[in-house]
Amino acid sequence: MTVTHPQPVVVLVDSQMGENIGASARAMLNCGLTGMRLVRPRDGWPNPAAYSISVGALEKMPPVQVFEQTRDAIADCQFVLATTARARDMVKPSYTAREAATELGRRAAEGQKTAILFGAERAGLDNDDVALAHGLITIPLNPEFSSLNLGQAVLLVAYEWSQISIPAKDPVPPELLPAPHDKFLEMCERLEAELDANNFFRTGGHKSIMIRNLRNMLSRGAMTEQEVRTFHGIITALTGKKTAGQKQD
């Protein structure tokens, strides 16, 4: 994950439990976010419980900044979204977490500094704080059981942010790639010959159809070369024969 654009800052307003601040920090760093700001944390700051639950995240991040007012915490931000559990009676664009990540990323790509607000554990953000935001984030969840704790809500929003710049996957080592097809077919043909010698194909159905079904079955797993050799070993072991040039392994 390479995030070279400005990241959103995460602003926790009126958080009550240090544990939730710590869990939020851990979730943020899991997703590559490092800018945390607190507005009026109930138990002050720094908070030992937060450090303990963050399992090192708070030590690895730049120092958390603490503010008295939400407006001060977002003073330098150019675009602000407020996370809310429910739609509010306000005329504001509303984003799912995934749509929000796209929009935040689009603005980050322009060089905008953005922020995401999260409210207190039970009460959420008050309407005055929501009114400061340019839009809402509502996480679409089971409508009959939608209450997330603070750390979980931060995780989902931060996770969606992290997915908009998806890392290139590590290349797969060659030995884990499927075998060249001729190696595979050679193995099929050996199996079929052995089965034929044991009257397998007399027991029902047309031989050509049975062979096709066998190959369908065996090909779906896309065996590696090592696995093709192993399968040769299985045939050899089961038939009790050695075949020139085939080694068991």
Q: What is the DSSP string of 3-18?
A: --SPPPEEEEES---H
Which CB sits closer to a second copy, 66 or 195?
195
- Could you give the string, one character per residue 61-100, with x where binding to a second copy holds by CB under 8 A and - elsewhere? --------------------------x---x----x-x--
CB atoms within 10 A of CB 185: 14
Residue type, 145: F
- Could you give the string, one character per residue 103-142, with x where binding to a second copy holds by CB under 8 A and - elsewhere? -------------------------------------xxx
Pairing outcome for strands 36-39 and 65-67? parallel
CB atoms within 10 A of CB 140: 10
Which CB sits closer to a second copy, 7 or 15?
7
Closest to 74 (Cα-Cα) out of 123, 29, 37: 37
Q: Please report how close the Cβ of residue 155 comes to a second copy at its closest, in angstroms.
A: 6
Which CB sits closer to a second copy, 71 or 242?
242
Distances (CA, A) of 13 to 36, 49, 97, 122, 169: 11, 18, 19, 12, 36
Coil, helix or strand for 118?
strand
DSSP annotation of 82 reads E
Q: How many whole angstroms from its chain centre is CA 123?
A: 28
- What whole-number distance in Å separates Cα of residue 196 and Cα of residue 78? 74
Please tell me whether residue 163 binds a second copy under the rule CB under 8 A: yes
Counting residues that bind a second copy (by CB under 8 A) gives 66
Region near a second copy per CB under 8 A, out of 14-22, 44-52, 76-84, 145-153: 145-153
Region near a second copy per CB under 8 A, out of 8-16, 38-46, 53-61, 71-79: 53-61
DSSP count for the chain of H helices, then E strands: 10, 7
Which CB sits closer to a second copy, 87 or 123?
87
Which CB sits closer to a second copy, 67 or 148?
148
Q: ∠ CA(65), CA(69), CA(73), 5° rounding?
A: 40
Site for a second copy in 174-233 (CB under 8 A): 176, 191, 194-195, 198-200, 203-205, 213-214, 217-224, 227, 230-231, 233
- What whole-number distance in Å separates Cα of residue 67 and Cα of residue 50? 17
Please tell me whether residue 249 binds a second copy under the rule CB under 8 A: yes
From the list 166, 171, 174, 206, which residue makes contact with a second copy (rule: CB under 8 A)?
166
Cβ 27 vs Cβ 154: under 8 Å: yes
Residues forming the site for a second copy (CB under 8 A)? 1, 26-27, 29-32, 55-57, 60, 87, 91, 96, 98, 140-143, 145-149, 151-152, 155-156, 159, 162-163, 166-167, 170, 176, 191, 194-195, 198-200, 203-205, 213-214, 217-224, 227, 230-231, 233-235, 237-240, 248-249
